[in-house]
Structure 1
Amino acid sequence: MNPNASALLDAAPGPPLVNASRFRAAHAGDWERLDDILKRIEKGSLGRLSDEELLALPGLYRTTLSSLSVARDTSLDRALVAYLEQLSTRAYFQIYGVRTSPWRQLAHFFVRGWAEAVQSLWKETLVTVFLTLASATVGYLLVASDPSWFYGIIPQAMAGGRDPTATAAALRETLYARHDDFLGTFAAFLFTHNSQIAIFSFALGFAFAVPTVLLVVYNGLSVGAFVEVFAAKGLGWNAVGWLCIHGTTELFAICLSAAAGMRIGLAIAFPGRETRTDAAVRAGRSAALVMAGTIVMLSVAGLLEGIGRQTITDDTSRYAIGLAMLAGWCLYFYLPRRARG
């Protein structure tokens, strides 16, 4: 007999509604047999189990559940109830738990999990896309009406000389000049910068999504202000192409990250009949999958920004790559998938 089980069986019961001694004597053998089978499975000895033991496992599990129900309803001692709860939980995971390899889990993430999580956030995604486009338009109009707005939106260090005081020739050079010696470093810097924006958009969502919305709006204002500087010198089409090759992927990733953060923030602000903690946990399941996937998108955007954008100087090619990437992401996320059997 298992020593732990024996100690539990000998524990003094509270005032029961059934005969505790007879109850233990009637079911202790099944509990101990189930415990022995589970220990062997947990040690990786599944192949050593006989066919009889494998067939007996579901029945022993149901018997233990029944014993647990009786123990709870008839006020048997707490130690026995705790033992049966633990035994039932272990049996549940061994019988119904799905064991998959890391490679299969990764494949499921890319084939179905990530896309389904993004689809579940379609409302929040539409909001973040709208906020980005609207704030970009506002940023463009503000700088067009008064160039001094540019310095209030984009720090001078980040502008890197691409500000209202730059000449058309200088701005054109930033769009088409090659800097092959620094492409790797530049790509790493941009990936880090863009990842920070996405992570903050997600992480700040817990504060009722307000900081997330503000960050999305600021990011949109920056894009609009940047484009206007070039448009004022007749280079608007060129600047948008320069941004397009990577921006469709990057901005989409940031919008998805913000949508994930917004989902958590709204769940906390409006939990409904759930507690705020339960609502946040439920919302966080899909949001976390989306956030994990955006790291992949930002990696792709970093390569396009740091390498492709600097080596491909034809405007048509830049637009073609950027729009093709956007179409590819949309098809990947929103193309209907077969229902799981």
Structure 2
Amino acid sequence: MIQGGAAPVNATRFRAAHAGDWERLDRLVTRVEKKSIRALDEDDLLALPLLYRSALSSLSLARATSLDRALVTYLEQLCTRAYFQLYGPPASPARAIGHFFLRGWPEAAQGLWRETLAAFALLLAGIFAGYLIVRSDPAWFYAIMPDSLAGGRDPTASFSKLFDSLYAPKQEMLATFATALFTNNAQVAIFSFALGFAFAVPTALLLVYNGLSLGALWAVFVAKGLGFGFMGWIAIHGTTELFAISLAGGAGFRIGTAIAFPGRMSRADAAVAAGRQAAVVMAGAVVMLAIAGLLEGIGRQTILGDAQRYAIGGAMLVGWLMYFYLPRRSGDALAA
């Protein structure tokens, strides 16, 4: 205990003993206030509540021993700020959504760039494999592509039927069509993510299979001299859709590899740690699939020129790449 006659000396010692912890708590709270709790690494997250309780103890001792008022005021303000960051009301829904789109989602996607690239490579390999298989033997088309998805666009289809499927305007029930396509694509992405828990092997197989289906369909159109038009028909929505599925697959890979190779953590803890980041990416992928569904069900059926389709698809791809991977300054976001 600090004795009354030696208060100034003991106050100096008291500051020297605890100032380092107070300053670290101040830095952490300031960082959270300016950015968000995501700005802290794992060590800082673990230290924050401990530093807060230590500051509370210092404040209690400072009050009980009548240390100088400036120190008591400083500790009161520091503890109040820390309390609101730890236990205060959450950010408003609008602020939370803004932070998700401005920082949370793109930063999580950046952290999965290797896994996303691997997922895209598997999709691409499946596309080229499906194309080459069906071009060499069209009978393979029926083993790869279910009739319900082919919709009559198979090796027996005539040029005029395939041409009309690309360029004939279809205005009726476009919204319903878009919803159905979105549901199908969302299922593919969700399964790619969810199956990551099985060491990511089913995720890889699903990505390859979906690539095979697209490649097989591409081969059908190429055989009738409509390959360029088919790719434009796909491009208007496909750059967004395939990007979303690659992100979902990458999220599944992150979870699967964390379970397969947990390092010093238990498999359960490794899965939870990987799942936090992967879940953010998956939530954003669903948003991308909704956009792809609108482009697929409405834009693709009303925009009939190849040049316009390629332009829209290319612009969407460039936009997504810039959104996810352009460097961001630390202050370029809503504080949350």
Q: Secondary structure at the match of 2:123?
A: helix
Instruction: Output one character per residue of 1:174-197: Cα deviation in whole Å (capped at 9) or x when no partner.
Output: 001122112011011001111111
Counterpart of 1:273, as a letter, is R
The answer for the alignment partner of 2:56 in structure 1 is 61
Q: Tell whether 2:94 aligns with 1:103.
A: yes
The answer for the alignment partner of 1:215 in structure 2 is 206
Q: Give the conservation status (yes or no) of the 8 Å contact 1:128–1:216.
A: yes
Q: Give the conservation status (yes or no) of the 8 Å contact 1:260–1:288.
A: yes
Following TM superposition, the consecutive aligned residue runs of length 4 or more in structure 1 with deviations greater than 2 angstroms are 57-66, 91-99
Corresponding residue to 2:195 among 181, 184, 204: 204
Q: Residues 94 and 166 (structure 1 numbering): CA distance in 2 closer, same or farther, change over 3 Å?
A: same
Corresponding residue to 1:171 among 162, 167, 171: 162
Q: Name the count of aligned residue pairs.
A: 262
> How far apart, CA to CA, are the structure 2 residues paired with 1:312 and 1:335?
30
Normalising by structure 2, report the TM-score: 0.74
* C-alpha displacement of 1:97: 4.3
> How far apart, CA to CA, are the structure 1 residues paired with 2:195 and 2:216?
24
* C-alpha displacement of 1:58: 7.1
Q: 1:1-341 alignment to 2 at 5 Å?
A: 61-62=56-57, 94=84, 96-97=86-87, 99-340=90-331
Q: Residues 142 and 65 (structure 1 numbering): CA distance in 2 closer, same or farther, change over 3 Å?
A: farther
Q: Secondary structure at the match of 1:339?
A: coil
> How far apart, CA to CA, are the structure 2 residues paired with 1:169 and 1:59?
77
Q: Give the conservation status (yes or no) of the 8 Å contact 1:132–1:217.
A: yes
Normalising by structure 1, report the TM-score: 0.73
Identical residues among aligned pairs (%): 60
Q: Secondary structure at the match of 1:271?
A: coil
Q: Secondary structure at the match of 1:218?
A: helix
Counterpart of 1:300, as a letter, is I
> How far apart, CA to CA, are the structure 2 residues paired with 1:237 and 1:179?
20
Root mean square deviation, CA, Å: 2.2
Instruction: Output one character per residue of 1:214-268: Cα deviation in whole Å (capped at 9) or x when no partner.
Output: 0000011111101010000000000000000000000100010010011001100
* C-alpha displacement of 1:340: 4.9
Instruction: Output one character per residue of 1:109-138: Cα deviation in whole Å (capped at 9) or x when no partner.
Output: 111110000000010011011111111111
Higher relative contact order, structure no. (Cα contacts within 8 Å, ≥ 6 residues apart): 2
* C-alpha displacement of 1:96: 3.5
Counterpart of 1:61, as a letter, is L
* C-alpha displacement of 1:100: 1.8
> How far apart, CA to CA, are the structure 2 residues paired with 1:104 and 1:319?
35
* C-alpha displacement of 1:103: 1.3
- Structure with max Cα Rg: 1
User: Unaligned regions of 5+ residues in structure 2, if any?
Assistant: 1-51, 62-80
Instruction: Using the TM superposition, name which of 322-331 and 91-100 deviates more.
Output: 91-100
* C-alpha displacement of 1:104: 1.1
* C-alpha displacement of 1:95: 5.7
